[in-house]
Structure 1
Amino acid sequence: MTDDRSIRGVVLAGGESSRFADGDKAFATVGGEPILGRVLQTVSAATDASALVVVPDREQGESIADRLGGDGYPTENLSFAVDDERFDGPLGGVMGAARQADAEWLFVTGCDMPLLDVAAVRWFLEDDSAADALVPRTAGGREPLHGRYRRTAILEAGQDLPASAGLHALLGDLSTVEDVSIDTGPSTLERSLTNVNTVGDLQAINDGGSTGEQHPN
């Protein structure tokens, strides 16, 4: 960003991997590394700080730390936040992060995005937009889990949203949202948006291809 406003990277790790038939997709491997570890490394490199990992409860946070440590990922600087129990799904994670973090801005992403790109993330961080949210837009719509959000705007919107609202509803409730199209964003953006929902998605990435399916929330 063009001034000294603070930003914190947030990685949502509370999903149930219901469409992934081979266990917890956050620990499926791409290039020999767990996807979650790759995402954390990218976010940390882009923001120059450790990411805030959002989980359903502290027990899952401890489990994640143990598993990452067992895979050789450095865990001494891992920080966890817990989902806001007033909301379902990813919105609960975003609200939980907004309640715990003290940065003015949050860069929010998912634990299932193994091709997340440092340059693409930094582009969002450095853009001088003053909108409450800056998010990519593809042919399938907005991609809320590769976006920069004003933390106080998230908290304000949370006062009016129902428990079942998703991230698209959050975007709809913010005062200002700026979309970034694939054509006008950084050249690595489309690849950076790739996420893993199924074993087939994972295989395509490991075979050198990619998928770009939009997160449903």
Structure 2
Amino acid sequence: MFFGAAKLNSDLLKEDPMKLLGTAAILCGGKSTRMGFDKCSIKVKDRLLLDIIIEKLSQAFEEVILVTNDKSRFPNYKNVYVDEYKDCGPAGGIYTALLYSKSKYLFVIGCDMPFVNLEYISYMKGLIKENKYDCILTQKGNWVEPLYAFYSDDMIPLFKRSLEEGRYKLIDIISKSNYFIVEEKIARSFSKYLEIFSNLNFISDLEILKKV
């Protein structure tokens, strides 16, 4: 079991919105093995789910970037970056996104996470503005959700060292940082069934897209 909260730090981050919280990253590097086809090609009512996620995130962030293992998959998109470390899972994607982000804090979501809740994102932004954490994540049962989370560029050296040593588990990396975990009951006040953390792994999961 891994959850808890780091000690509050009263130092306020006095930076403009773009420098502090202006960038969101969508991780698009998964192999989609269980789905059987590229998740970035999933459509909702004739629109790419990826485009819907970008559109929603653009309401809360000045910059939305994509991180992938193959840039050629996204010829019609700007701000696309290739994993600096290949085949390292989400840890490699987050590291790459932090390198290219224009803001100190980076919001990270997967390309297969269809429910973007702007109110909850705003709540997490408020926590960052008031307290200096390396990352902000959410408790879900006895687990912590490493995506739909914020990461600071202060974690770049930690990610780099872990990746170079072949340690790819996000939870292990996070545990070495000054993290803060939002309690599940608070998250449920924004997303009653925690659908914001739903992701699409199997064909059967596509049923939830009817709610998008």
Aligned to 1:51: 64
Aligned length: 191
* Shift in alpha-carbon separation, 1:64–1:87, aligned structure 2, 3 A: closer
Contact conserved, 2:91 with 2:169, CA < 8 A, in 1?
yes
Report the TM-score, using the length of structure 1 for normalisation.
Answer: 0.78
Task: Give per-residue Cα distances to partners, 1:60-116, cap 9 Å, x unaligned.
Answer: xxx3244xxxxxxxx4xx211221226611111111111222311111111001112
Task: Give per-residue Cα distances to partners, 1:109-153, cap 9 Å, x unaligned.
Answer: 110011122222222222223211100110151111111111122
- Higher RCO, Cα 8 Å, sep 6+: 2
Report the TM-score, using the length of structure 2 for normalisation.
Answer: 0.80
Matches within 5 A, 1:12-161: 12-21=27-36, 23-47=37-61, 49-59=62-72, 63-66=73-76, 75=77, 78-85=78-85, 88-127=88-127, 128-153=130-155, 155-161=156-162
Identity between Structure 1 and Structure 2 (%): 21
> Which amino acid is the alignment partner of residue 74 of structure 2?
I
SS across alignment from 2:182: strand
- Verify: 1:163 aligned to 2:166, yes or no: yes
Contact conserved, 1:136 with 1:182, CA < 8 A, in 2?
yes
Q: Structure 2: any 5+ residue segments left out of the alignment? A: 1-11
Structure-2 separation of matches of 1:113 and 1:204: 11
* Shift in alpha-carbon separation, 1:133–1:124, aligned structure 2, 3 A: same
Deviation at 1:164, TM superposition (A): 4.2
Q: Structure 1: any 5+ residue segments left out of the alignment? A: 67-74, 211-217
Aligned to 2:4: none
Contact conserved, 1:10 with 1:106, CA < 8 A, in 2?
yes
SS across alignment from 2:146: coil
Structure-2 separation of matches of 1:2 and 1:159: 24
Contact conserved, 1:43 with 1:51, CA < 8 A, in 2?
yes
Deviation at 1:58, TM superposition (A): 3.0
| More divergent stretch after superposition (184-193 vs 126-135) | 184-193
Contact conserved, 2:27 with 2:93, CA < 8 A, in 1?
yes
* Shift in alpha-carbon separation, 1:30–1:184, aligned structure 2, 3 A: same
SS across alignment from 2:59: helix
